[in-house]
Each structure stands twice: as C-alpha cells, then as structure tokens.
Amino acid sequence: MELAGLSVSQAGGDGLVAARHLRHYGYQPTVYYPKRSKNELYQRLAKQLEDLEIPFVEDFPAALDTTDHIVDAIFGFSFSGEVREPFPAVIRALEETKLPVTAVDAPSSWDIEDGPPKSGLGSTFNPTVLVSLTAPKPLVKHFRGRHFIGGRFVSPAIAKKYDFDVPEYEGIDQVVEVGPSGQKL
C-alpha cells in the first residue's frame, strides 16, 4: 500500500492526483489529508478518491505500519517558515522511516532555494526520489537520490523565457531521469 501525505498546498493537489493515478494503475493508495481545502478543485479531487474507495487516514505515523512506499506531497515549492501542527509529527516520521519516499517538487520542510533546514525538524530528511514538476527547483543541489523531471508540455518559448533546459524525453515518456546537474541519464 502506498501512503500519500497531503496538505492544502499545490503539492497537496498533486498528491490527490497521484493517489487517483496509483489506484487506476492497480495500487492501493491511502491518503493522509488532515486539513481539507475549501477550494472546489481539491474538494472534487477528494470526492474522486472517495468514489474510488481510497481510504483517508488521520494518523500518519501509525499508517506507516501498513505502507510500503510514501508519496510526500505535503508542502510544495512555495513552503517557507515554520512547520505547523499537525505536520511536525509527519516530518519526524519522514526523517525516521526506512520506507522509500518519493517527494513531489520539494521535499516537505525544505526551502525551495536553500534545501533542508540547517538544524532541527526536517534537517535529516532526504527522500529516496524527487520528482520535479516542469523544471528542477534550486533546492535540487542539496538532494541526494534519484531525480526525475515531469514536464514534457513546456514549450521552447517558455523554456527560453525562464532560462532553463528542457530534457529530451524518449518516445511517449512523460518523465525523464536526470543527474545532479540536470543532465539526462
């Protein structure tokens, strides 16, 4: 069973979509979504998961006992400041788990520019896999693990405007694995 940890951030929406896709691909996701959004889009995504009979759990650390993989979609690239309740227990669990963790866009508790906190909560959290949506964020220079980019939809004009290289995707692939400096593996 895969556990998707979600928040009300953009990454939370990405996590809801990931859980839906996991179910359609035959996996049995479970969702931790402690702060439901009032945003209609997120409400509809949550309803889709309920209609797919995807369970929602309230105790993230306890759910790890029945999980074999974690999708970290708690905080997105706009995260800054202190980790507030109920998320400190989740970040501690992510730091301590031996399970593989796939982070969406930015590992939870990491600063988008500076990476993990220098000390304290989240400072030892380094997921197994990072999936950067659209383009790698500056924090990737601090990441140690497998790194993928999903963003085949980026036009050459947008890439030029924001000054980033779009990797070459093979065939109909939607993601590509890249090395630490963004080169295709």
pLDDT (tens digit per residue) in 158-178: 989 988 888 889 999 999 999
pLDDT score, position 8:
45
Of 15, 97, 38, 26, give the one whose Cα is nearest residue 62: 97
Q: Report domain extents, the chain.
A: 2-178
Q: What is the pLDDT of residue 7?
A: 46
Q: What phi and psi values does residue 149 have, to the nearest 5 degrees?
A: -120, 130
Decide: 40 and 104 in contact? Cβ < 8 Å.
no
Separation between Cα atoms, residue 110 and residue 141, nearest integer Å: 12
Strands 69-73, 101-104: parallel, antiparallel or unpaired by DSSP?
Answer: parallel
Q: What is the Cα 4 distance to its own chain's centre?
A: 9
What CATH class does 2-178 carry?
Answer: alpha beta
Write down the pTM of the prediction: 0.88
Quote the strand ranges of the chain, DSSP E: 2-6, 30-32, 56-57, 69-73, 101-104, 129-133, 146-150, 175-178
Residue type at 170? E
Q: Which amino acid is at 171?
A: G
Binned at pLDDT 50, 70 and 90, residue 26 comes out as very high
- Asked whether residue 51 carries a pLDDT value surpassing 70, the answer given is yes
Looking at residue 120, its pLDDT comes to 94
Higher-pLDDT residue of 116 and 86 is 116
Whether residue 36 has pLDDT greater than 90: no
Is pLDDT larger for residue 184 or for residue 144? 144
Lowest mean pLDDT among 59-63, 109-113, 181-185: 181-185
What percent of the chain clears pLDDT 70, i.e. is strictly above it? Answer: 91
pLDDT of res. 180: 66
Residue 101 is encoded by which pair of tokens? 């963790």
**Helix and strand totals (H; E) in the chain:** 5, 8
Alpha-helix residue ranges (DSSP H) falling in 25-136: 40-51, 60-63, 87-96
Q: What integer is the mean pLDDT of 99-105?
A: 95
Question: Nearest to residue 70, comparing CAs of 99, 93, 90, 35?
Answer: 99
* Amino acid letter for position 110: W
